[in-house]
Amino acid sequence: MTKPVAFDMPPDLQALWAQLEQENRQATVRRAKADPAGHKLSRVFSGPMRWRFYESKAGRSQCVRFCWSTTRNCAGYFLTWVETHYKKGTGARRKWSARRQRQDAKAIALRRFRAHQARSAKPHEVQT
């Protein structure tokens, strides 16, 4: 696993980097509050991001997680996404969407999970 860029810098540059990231984050929050609909898929949160997921095994020691956030992003939306975990770590996160209600975001994740289960289920063989 690689380290973030800031850890490879001297301490004074680390402090400058942290300050730049904080200013960028604050600017993103201001823009999101001014235009929430335009920033509904923003991955910037005002506090710690908390999330939950439904997990489905996909074979070859990988699994697919259907996730939703339980805290609002800076624009006031709950996010949903799908991520694939491989043996060596997390793969791509995809299919991002945003909803105003937490229950709606959870319902989307559950619907995606059930659709995936239906697609990946092997047909049941009846022996006579």
What pLDDT sits at residue 128? Answer: 47
Query: Residue 54: inside a domain, yes or no?
Result: yes
The answer to whether the CB of 106 falls within 8 A of the CB of 68 is yes
6-48 pLDDT per residue, tens? 567 788 888 888 899 889 888 988 888 899 899 999 998 888 8
Q: From the DSSP assignment, how many helices (H) and strands (E) are in the chain?
A: 2, 4
Regarding whether 67 and 22 lie in a shared domain, the answer is: no
56-83 pLDDT per residue, tens? 887 777 889 999 999 999 999 999 999 9
Query: Residue 2: inside a domain, yes or no?
Result: no
Regarding whether 62 and 98 lie in a shared domain, the answer is: yes
Regarding whether 35 and 51 lie in a shared domain, the answer is: no
Query: Residue 4: inside a domain, yes or no?
Result: no
The answer to whether the CB of 104 falls within 8 A of the CB of 78 is yes
Query: Residue 127: inside a domain, yes or no?
Result: no
Query: Residue 5: inside a domain, yes or no?
Result: no
Residues 109 and 83: their CA atoms lie apart, in Å, by 11
Mean per-residue pLDDT, 79-101: 90
Regarding whether 56 and 31 lie in a shared domain, the answer is: no
> Higher pLDDT residue, 112 or 123?
112
What pLDDT sits at residue 104? Answer: 96
Regarding whether 58 and 35 lie in a shared domain, the answer is: no
Token pair 């020691």: residue:
61
Helix (H, G, I), strand (E, B) or coil at 42: coil
Range of the domain at 70: 47-120
Q: State how many domains the chain has.
A: 2
What pLDDT sits at residue 101? Answer: 96
The answer to whether the CB of 74 falls within 8 A of the CB of 28 is yes
Regarding whether 51 and 24 lie in a shared domain, the answer is: no
